[in-house]
Amino acid sequence: MDSNITIMRNTFQHFILLGLLTLVVAGCQAPDGDIYILYENDVHCAVDGYEKMAALRADYLKKSIYVNVVSCGDFVQGDKAGSISKGRYPVALMNAVPYDYVALGNHEFDYGMPQLRKLMWWMRAKVLCCNFSYVSTGKQLYSAYHVRSYGSRKVAFIGVATPESLTSSVPTNFQNEDGEWEYSFHADEVVELVQQAVNSAKEEGAEFVIVLSHLGDDTRGINSVDLIHQTEGIDVVLDGHSHHVINRKMADLNGDSVLLASTGCKFQYIGRLLIDLQGNVSNELINMETYQGTNPRMRSRIDNIKERVGKKTNKLIGFSQIKLTDSDDNNNRLVRYQETNLCDFVADAMRVVTKADIGVSNAGGIRGSLPAGQLTYGDLMQVLPFNN
């Protein structure tokens, strides 16, 4: 009898303790604080910049517990570290920072869909894209948006990719063996799909909506400027694809102010978006030439990757008596606007190798100059990093 009473007493005490713990946990909501979003776009495998991103993240974690890192796309292609590893090295460094959300740029698709799936499965960050789906079923490959809580406040992140990906990457990557499209970027429905994501996020309690866009501000078809003018409820559009440095506000469909920002390319800047306790949104573009932050852990990882890449790319393969250039002395990319000796060299090389009568090269595929003197395999890979 006494033992039964003891068991009942212990059981009752356990229920009381469990109830008290439930009340304590329910009352322990994380405190409100400033929210910092660090962002970039069009890094194109400029791997040294990840040290600066990791250092900045550490800096802002001293100011607030709410610090996130995001990318607006084009991070796995554009230089040797990406081409050699088919995107694995850049993703490894992004995981080490770590990143929280990424949007898909057109060059994420360059290595083919099987490789994209592997890379995005390995990616620690959540992949967001509201306008990329299977043609046959209409099912989206990745989440359109994600709502994140920061204390009592909620912020939604929405991803959108440029429909230009179908042609500015490798078209056959999106087709079956019969040349039929297997995937769609919904070129005529981008605005509608983004608005649907905004509305759904608002229904889930999001107070702020941030779009991670890889549309560009001056592209044909839908671009980030059009998106802002034709939607409502968005607070910020962080954009990529055009490689422009942008930090300005414009009116949405209702006349409300929306911030449009972009960081150039190859870690020219890192953006710092702030949502303060009063709900004010501000933005700063931090120049990476003047920022002196370091991160020994990331530096070691980057150096290790660069050493691996160097073993494959330092082989001497030729000699040039003159510099072959894609840009002027102010780093303006002349290949986009006029003939240069490097363009002629590339087009002639294509013509000779294929035994064609005429050689034509896409200026967007030329991504660097060749110095006078000895040339390595890596030098040529840096000029022509894309496998299309």
Is a pLDDT exceeding 60 seen at residue 22? no
Alpha-carbon distance 108 to 120, whole Å? 10
> How high is the pLDDT of residue 10?
52
Alpha-carbon distance 301 to 7, whole Å? 57
What ranges in the chain are assigned the alpha helix state H? Answer: 2-27, 49-61, 80-85, 88-96, 113-122, 165-168, 190-203, 224-229, 296-313, 341-354, 377-383
> How high is the pLDDT of residue 15?
45
Selection from 247, 294, 251 nearest residue 271 by Cα: 247
Q: Which residue is associated with the tokens 């068991």?
A: 7
Alpha-carbon distance 293 to 343, whole Å? 37
Helices 49-61 and 296-313, axial angle in degrees (round to 10): 170
Contact call for residues 234 and 179 (beta carbons, < 8 A): no
Q: Per-residue pLDDT tens for 251-307?
A: 999 999 999 999 999 999 999 999 999 999 999 999 999 999 999 999 999 999 999
Is a pLDDT exceeding 90 seen at residue 140? yes
Six token digits for residue 221? 């078809």
**Which 3 state secondary structure label does DSSP give 207?**
coil
Six token digits for residue 195? 């608005």
Q: What does 87-133 look like in DSSP terms, one character per residue?
A: THHHHHHHHHTT--EEEPPGGGGTT-HHHHHHHHHH-SSEEE-SS-E
Q: Per-residue pLDDT tens for 26-42?
A: 445 689 999 999 999 99
Contact call for residues 272 and 56 (beta carbons, < 8 A): yes
Q: Is 350 exposed, middle or buried (0-12, 13-18, 19+ CB in 10 A)?
A: middle
> How high is the pLDDT of residue 5?
43
> How high is the pLDDT of residue 387?
66
> How high is the pLDDT of residue 11?
46
Mean residue pLDDT across the chain: 90
Peptide bond into 385 cis (omega under 30): no
The sign of the torsion formed by the CA atoms of 133, 102, 111, 215 equals: positive
Contacts 24+ apart (CB under 8 A), 316-320: 316/374, 316/375, 316/376, 317/375, 317/376, 317/377, 317/380, 318/374, 318/375, 319/373, 319/374, 319/375, 320/370, 320/371, 320/372, 320/373, 320/375
Contact call for residues 214 and 17 (beta carbons, < 8 A): no
The sign of the torsion formed by the CA atoms of 307, 309, 315, 320 equals: negative
Of 146 and 22, more confident: 146
Contact call for residues 116 and 109 (beta carbons, < 8 A): yes
Q: Which residue is associated with the tokens 């087009």?
A: 347
